[in-house]
């Protein structure tokens, strides 16, 4: 393990395997640092995915609990944030599967002035959300992480534990299916 001063001055970030080793040796300071350093990014992603503060807080808490329980078994070298992001996405996926709640995914810009147009847009939105639910799991998750989570291709690849090229392929396929089903009007949403 590196000297504590090295972390205090930020000369290098520890590898995740070093954090795991410290955790196995009972070093609570490393776990505290892990939470402190990544909490805002992890909470931000949880907010974007869940759509509300209460669910986001629950997801973050679940993420860190799973991380602490599993850190002792960790062997694979990975970035800390990517590893936490992957745990968060898995927790969000499990919660979404259990509840089958509507994920507030799309928020088209502006409110239409015509009430009939507003009803039509809401109806289209409901149908698009139902269409997203019918996408294959990987396509659906990649699309939600991109649109709702606002993650980059590299971040999605890290969170889903797949290659960046696979993320691009899943997104292209998902968008094609949705546009084929609902028309070009939704292209701006995806």
- Is this prediction's pTM over 0.75? no
Residue-wise pLDDT for 145-168, tens only, equals: 998 888 999 989 988 989 999 999
Structure tokens at 37: 């350093």
- Report which of 128, 120, 139 is spatially closest to residue 183, judged by C-alpha positions: 128
* pLDDT digits 0-9 by tens, 40-49: 999 999 998 8
In the chain, the domains with their CATH numbers are: 13-101 (1.10.1740.10), 107-190 (1.10.10.10)
Specify the pLDDT at position 76: 56
Cα torsion 98, 119, 172, 169 to 10°: value is 0
């Amino acid at each position: 393990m590196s000297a504590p001063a090295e972390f205090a001055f930020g000369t290098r970030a520890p590898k995740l395997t070093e954090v795991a080793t410290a955790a196995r040796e009972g070093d609570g300071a490393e776990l505290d640092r892990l939470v402190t350093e990544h909490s805002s990014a992890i909470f931000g992603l949880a907010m974007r995915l869940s759509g509300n503060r209460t669910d986001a807080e629950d997801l973050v808490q679940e993420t860190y609990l799973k991380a602490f329980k599993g850190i002792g078994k960790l062997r694979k070298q990975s970035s800390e944030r990517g590893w936490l992001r992957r745990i968060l996405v898995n927790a969000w996926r499990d919660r979404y599967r259990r509840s089958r709640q509507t994920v507030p995914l799309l928020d088209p810009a502006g409110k239409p002035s015509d009430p009939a147009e507003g009803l039509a847009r809401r109806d289209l939105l409901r149908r698009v959300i139902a269409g997203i639910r019918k996408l294959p799991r990987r396509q659906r998750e990649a699309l939600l992480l991109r649109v709702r989570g606002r993650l980059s291709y590299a971040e999605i690849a890290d969170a889903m534990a797949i290659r960046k090229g696979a993320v691009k392929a899943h997104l292209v396929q998902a968008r094609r299916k949705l546009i084929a089903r609902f028309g070009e009007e939704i292209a701006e949403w995806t």
